[in-house]
Chain A
């Protein structure tokens, strides 16, 4: 059974960097049949996919246009986890952040528990 366990702070100051980690059990971040995404949810923006990392003989990343200049998603194979960094945050980045697995040919089949992140001074 795949499980995704999120960790990271729930409060970030404006202009600083939001950092979250998603620990994977029951699968591998290096799997060639899955990709590993971050998705956020807010009342104003709904469910919004932010970015992903995946391995297909080498590592790849894709990012949403809305955050492309501010986001980094990195794998950590030694800990079987991946991370999200979103820099220069503003109150508009306040949301519940989820990590999620997408299997090849399928869609988001496993999700983390969610982390409420508030951007406030």
Chain B
């Protein structure tokens, strides 16, 4: 099973600043990598798929990059509604399509 490791576990950022989240796969997943945002009491929401393609309705301040085993989610200028937990997920080896442990983006 492919293990997905996210870092850092918690990221403290001021509104308007840039946030950079990392995700590493234990083996290559090509570009079959997605990012989700989850707020308390809600289901995960798909942000990015194919490592860099924004899902429908996702603002341009969210961008994804990487391929193989190293991936990055960048939020260019954090808005108040962006403070949440972010998960990466690989779907190259599907099923099961494993998730990372999450990065919590909190207000500094």
Contact = CB atoms under 8 A, between A and B. Distances in A.
Contacts of B49: 106-107, 109
Main secondary structure of the interface of B (DSSP, over half): loop
Interface stretch (A24-32, A82-90, A111-119): A111-119
B63 to A, nearest CB: 17
Main secondary structure of the interface of A (DSSP, over half): strand
Contacts of B96: 49, 64
Contacts, number: 48
Interface residues of B, number: 22
A62 interface: yes
B15 interface: no
Contacts of B32: 107
Interface in B17-59: 32, 34, 36, 42-46, 49, 55
Interface in A69-113: 98, 100, 102, 106-109, 111-113
Given A46-B102, A49-B95, A107 B43 contact: no
Contacts of A106: 49
B68 interface: no
Interface of A: 46-49, 52, 62, 64, 98, 100, 102, 106-109, 111-114
